[in-house]
Amino acid sequence: MKVISYNLNKHRAAGELTELVEKHEVDVLCLQECDTNDIPHQVGGLRLAEATQRNRLGLAVYYRENTFRAEEVRALSLKKSLHDYVLKPAEERMLGVRLRDIDTGRDVIVASFHAAPLTALNSLRRHQIRTALSELENLGPGLPALMVGDYNYPVFKENLGQKVRDQGYELTLSDARTYTRYRFFRGHYDFATSVGFDIAHIRTLPQGLSDHLPILITAEVTARRPGGLG
């Protein structure tokens, strides 16, 4: 499975999506900061599974419809930061989709995630991540799950990685930093948390019109989980 995650920076990079999907033969596309009133139902052979409805800057998930069938979708509101209360950019910060492989009949979960911005505390973002991962478990108990997106967590990722492992998930970074706009805030913002997947690699793709660089995740389902978050 090939998955691209891309923060479009207030929809500025929306015109790049078709080329990205076709060039990298992507199976799933996860977006953040997209204008959900101005996104197509099809992108380069991928079908829109769902987009958030209550966000000024939304999330969306697309999937390759000749490979998968969308079985269930769930959007989730998470604990709010002060930024959320004042500017109201995002009511829903996680969008999960349970996909069924048409050939094997196996279900997997893929989610697009966008954590609170850097004005919030890391503790709040950890709370959001923990809640989102728990909700994915409810979407499909014991299923392999992959949550990708903008975690807004450029420092102290070792601590975050341990917290994620405590929930039974693994945190995987890309091969190069994904945010370059401000000198003192450059780093890995966009990455993946997963369980039941063997992630071969995560590659940071060339920068386009967004201040975030898209990431390409190449992963393979290992086995059905025995159940629970561990």
- For the stretch 82-113, pLDDT in tens is 455 444 555 789 999 999 999 999 999 999 99
Domains and CATH numbers, the chain: 2-221 (3.60.10.10)
pLDDT per residue over 119-137, tens digit each? 778 888 999 999 999 999 9
Inter-residue contact 3 to 27 (CB < 8 Å) = yes
